[in-house]
Structure 1
Amino acid sequence: MEFKVLAIGDVVAEQGMAHLERHLRQVQRAEKIDFTVVNGENTSGVGITPDEARRLYQAGADVITLGNHAMGKRQIANFLDDASYILRPANFSGRAPGRGHGIYDLGRFQVRVINLIGRCDLYWQGENPFTVADAILKEGKPTFTLLDFHAQATSEKLAMGYYLDGRISAMWGTHTHVPTADERVYPKGTGYISDLGMTGPIESVLGVRPEQSVESFLGGFPGRYESPTGACKLQGAIFTLESETGLCTSVKRIDIR
């Protein structure tokens, strides 16, 4: 039986949130989506608040994943412990609040979602994501296993895809906010894309006003980053999975503007 997973790239600021709220349910209906994972670590620009997490959930996210800005808003700490639908990277220090993976029971199917963070030029304080993935995968075998790998280096993401090929249903990268055109099914059946892209302003640099980003690269003082107004995009990918094998049969990018 087919099972469709929608993965949505980093939601940036209020503009991205509002765009997702307007369009997510429509996409879910049109594509007959069974399960949706949204990366929400940038809904406050840097970090996420409990209210923003609730809005993502009410908009249609079944699970919210995070990344290097997971603790960007201090008020999220207790919420990470209390809400099972929000995950921070599993390879954070054991002192971090919250959980890095969970199994979600849909009755006929069980979906495990894992959130990991890369270490190449991003988060060297984290444990090795490869060995952490191994440890998590030993904890039972649900129908499907999904991984949001929040990482900078495409080499680290690609290597993780090969390492877990055939052992998980699908893996996608987040963090760079720029979608890649390498969606595929790996040789042993794991669906993959290096980066989903972002949900937020089209005329921006990763969700930031272009003039501020340019000023920072010129060595000036851009000020507190702001997200521009204007047209937005919702980027991600749809993974079609097969319940008998738990593996992927196709991957399709989406870009809703």
Structure 2
Amino acid sequence: MRILMLGDVVGEPGRRLVEAHLPALRRETSADFVVVNGENAAHGHGISESIAREWFDGLGVDVITTGNHAFDVKGIEATFRQEPRLLRPANHPPDTPGNGWVKLHTASGAEVLVINLMGRVHMPPCECPFRCVDAILQKERADLVIVDMHAEATSEAQAMGHHLDGRAAAVLGTHTHVPTLDTKILPGGTAYVSDIGMTGPYGGVIGMKKESSLGRFLKVQRPKYEVAEGDLQLHAILVTTEGRKATGIERIIRTL
């Protein structure tokens, strides 16, 4: 099986990249299953119902994952409750709207379990992602397990990769918007990368205009973030599996 996952989509430029490249990319890679991290898709913060609907219904995305900005768009809680394929981190408090994992069947009949986790280092308060994923895997069974590890610290992401080695087909990092060069197959057969990178404008600072980002470091008053515009790049990871384990991991980049 071939699993395609896109890194954090940032604002309108990122959505343009998804619309321009995803249909052809799915055909070119023969992807059986597509996951997109959409937590920055709406103006750089959060995701809207209309964006999620377009990706699901118009572009054939199978699962949308999120992270610390999951609920930034007003009213999105209802969409999280109604749409099981739109995930928020599973280790949010138990009363958080929506689901942290979903199990779906591919066209070939294979069952895929996608789990959305969030790290705790330099992140908003949340429950332990390691114990959380252990509890999920104790009660859920599937042909393949795919984990979006939304983490600030590369050490925490790497630790999760080793924690799930042999139990997940892939542990793929998101959140920092900076692609890492450590794509690998771990000894137990888990495909791993610390961060896929983002799908959006690399001409700024992690997708935001460099002027507003610099102002946050140089001034007392914190300027409002605005989505950057230049150097548009789509970053994705393609994982190939056989049985329950990964046999290949490949980084994909497309530009506009």
TM-score by length of 2: 0.95
Structure 1 residue 220: Cα displacement: 5.0
Structure 1 residue 43: Cα displacement: 0.7
Matched-pair contact (CA < 8 Å) for 1:117–1:150? yes
Map Cα deviations across residues 48-97 of structure 1 (whole Å, 9 max, x no partner).
Answer: 11111112222232100000001111211010010121000000011110
Structure 1 residue 105: Cα displacement: 1.6
Structure 1 residue 152: Cα displacement: 0.5
Matches for 1:43-82 after TM superposition, within 5 Å:
43-44=41-42, 45-57=44-56, 58-82=58-82
2:176 is matched with: 176
Structure 1 residue 114: Cα displacement: 0.1
2:131 is matched with: 131
> Residue 26 of structure 1: SS of its match in structure 2?
helix
Aligned counterpart in structure 1 of residue 8 of structure 2, from 2, 5, 10: 10
Matched-pair contact (CA < 8 Å) for 1:182–1:193? yes
Q: Are 2:122 and 1:121 aligned?
A: yes
Residues matched between the structures, number: 252
Matches for 1:93-242 after TM superposition, within 5 Å:
93-106=93-106, 107-123=108-124, 125-219=125-219, 221=221, 223-242=223-242
Q: Which amino acid aligns with 1:133?
A: V
Aligned counterpart in structure 2 of residue 27 of structure 1, from 16, 25, 48: 25
Structure 1 residue 19: Cα displacement: 1.2
> Residue 199 of structure 2: SS of its match in structure 1?
strand
C-alpha distance in structure 1 between counterparts of 2:168 and 2:222, whole Å? 42
Matched-pair contact (CA < 8 Å) for 1:24–1:60? no
C-alpha distance in structure 1 between counterparts of 2:231 and 2:159, whole Å? 35
Structure 1 residue 133: Cα displacement: 0.5
Moved over 6 A (4+): none
Q: Which amino acid aligns with 2:45?
A: V
> Residue 98 of structure 1: SS of its match in structure 2?
coil
C-alpha distance in structure 2 between counterparts of 1:130 and 1:223, whole Å? 36
Structure 1 residue 8: Cα displacement: 0.5
After TM superposition, the structure 1 stretch with the greater mean CA deviation from structure 2, 32-41 or 50-59, is 50-59
C-alpha distance in structure 1 between counterparts of 2:117 and 2:228, whole Å? 29
C-alpha distance in structure 2 between counterparts of 1:40 and 1:140, whole Å? 24
Matched-pair contact (CA < 8 Å) for 2:183–2:249? yes
C-alpha distance in structure 2 between counterparts of 1:33 and 1:99, whole Å? 24
After TM superposition, the structure 1 stretch with the greater mean CA deviation from structure 2, 167-176 or 136-145, is 136-145
C-alpha distance in structure 1 between counterparts of 2:224 and 2:54, whole Å? 25
Matched-pair contact (CA < 8 Å) for 2:204–2:229? no
> Residue 55 of structure 1: SS of its match in structure 2?
helix
> Residue 134 of structure 1: SS of its match in structure 2?
helix
Unaligned runs of at least 5 residues, structure 1: none
TM-score by length of 1: 0.95
Structure 1 residue 221: Cα displacement: 4.1
